Amino acid sequence: ANFRHVDEAFFDDLEDTLIESDVGYETAMQISEDLRDEVKLQNAKSKKEISSVIVEKLVDMYGEAGEGEDNSIHLAESGPTVILFVGVNGAGKTTTIGKMANMYKQQGKKVLLAACDTFRAGAIQQLQVWGQRDGVDVVAGAERSDPASVCFDAVKKAKAEDYDILFVDTAGRLQNKVNLMNELEKIKRVITREIPAAPQEVLLVLDATTGQNALNQAKLFKQSTAVTGIVLTKLDGTARGGIVLAIRNELHLAVKYVGLGEKVTDLRPFNANDFVYGLFKDVITG
């Protein structure tokens, strides 16, 4: 009898929460509509029942949009795997490489890093510090040298010396900078020319605090470098990263890993359940 009461207030809160987590207005409304129907369908009455229906449904929705994709990292069957990192300035590319390189090194892989951000002050040294921490090799050129040629040297070395995985760090760039996006395409072409099946992964690094602009980022980076997945960083803060739901719906790009801090161990495989729960925990528990 008091269902409608719970229902309306609850869904108002839910819409606000969704918007507040950056999923975007359209997505928020669409999700909330779908959920109303689902809650009615399942005849959920208490707030607790509604909550569990919602989490379940959302995980399903997230999964459906990515039907046929998987969020594992694809490795080459033989020869070096190349993983190219792209993204806007300061998103967390270099740090994520540092974390991921350590992860694979721990698994016994022979790992190489390529310092193809030759532009930003201190970028090469930053990657070199990570290389030392992880105990992996780094290929670097001079500051301001051509990033594609550093990449070429690194791929050559990876092939010649039987490295298992090469991580390519690139300079941050805003997606509307045509020249810089062309430079990125060139880096990618150099890789493919040397190893036709490479890069096996092109990971877009996305800062979880980003708002609606993340959709443009995903669109344009996908267009120029055929992004294969997302790493969502800085989820240890108060931002929820809801924009990845819209990205998933529109562009079918899946999150593969999340960053939860600045330490080498602060990297986790993406878990849709945990993520969705994180988006709504205030509505559910509050």
Partner 1 sequence: MAFEGLTERLQKAMTNLRRKGKVSESDLRQTMREIRLALLEADVNFTVVKDFVKTVRDRALGAKVLDGLNPAQQIVKIVDEELTKTMGETAVPLNKSAKIPTIIMMAGLQGAGKTTTVGKLALKLKNEQNARPLMIAADVYRPAAIQQLQQVGDQIDVPVFQLGTDVDPVEIVRQGLAEAEANHNDYVFIDTAGRLQIDEQLMDELANIKALAHPDEILLVIDAMTGQNAVNTAQGFDDKLDITGVVLTKLDGDTRGGAALSIRAVTGKPIKFIGQGEKMTDLDVFHPDRMSNRILGMGDMLTLIEKA
- Cα(56)–Cα(192) distance, integer angstroms: 41
Cβ partners under 8 Å of residue 81, min gap 6: 74, 75, 164, 165, 166, 198, 200, 201
Give residues in contact with ligand GTP (CB under 6 A): 87, 89-95, 117, 120, 123, 171-172, 174, 205, 233-234, 236-237, 259-262, 266
Cβ closer to partner 1: 229 or 259? Answer: 259
For the bound state, the minimum distance from the C-beta of residue 168 to ligand GTP, rounded and expressed in Å, comes to: 12
Binding partner at 16 among ligand GTP, Mg ion, partner 1, none, C-beta below 5 to 8 Å by kind: partner 1
How many whole angstroms separate alpha carbon 20 and alpha carbon 142? 44
Residues that bind partner 1 (CB under 8 A): 16, 19-22, 24-25, 88-92, 98, 119-123, 125-126, 128-130, 133, 143, 174-177, 207, 209-216, 234, 236-240, 243, 262
C-beta closer to ligand GTP: residue 13 or 266: 266
Count other Cβ atoms within 10 Å, centred on residue 180: 16
Minimum distance from residue 161 beta carbon to Mg ion (Å): 25
- Measured from each CB, the residue nearest to ligand GTP is 172
Q: Rounded to an integer, what distance in angstroms lies between the CA atom of residue 218 and that of residue 229?
A: 10
Identify which of residues 79 and 278 has a Cβ nearer to partner 1 in the complex. Answer: 278
As measured in angstroms, the least distance from the Cβ of 33 to ligand GTP is 33
Question: Cβ 30 to partner 1, closest distance in Å?
Answer: 14
DSSP letters spanning 16-43: HHHHHTT--HHHHHHHHHHHHHHHHHTT
- 199 vs 283 by CB, closer to ligand GTP: 199
Question: Smallest distance, Å, CB 93 to Mg ion?
Answer: 5
Q: Output 80 or 92, the one with its CB closest to partner 1.
A: 92
Bridge partners of 203?
Answer: 85, 229
Nearer to Mg ion, 97 or 195 (CB): 97
Buried/exposed code over 238-273 (b: 16+ C-beta within 10 A; e: otherwise): ebbbbbbbbbbbebebbbbbbbbeeebebbeebebe
CB of 72 to partner 1, least distance (A): 27
32 binds, among partner 1, Mg ion, ligand GTP, none (CB under 5 to 8 A by kind): none
Q: Minimal CA–CA distance to 90: which of 22, 21, 146, 171? A: 171
The DSSP element (H or E) to which 120 belongs, if any, is none
Say if residues 191 and 156 touch (Cβ distance below 8 Å).
no
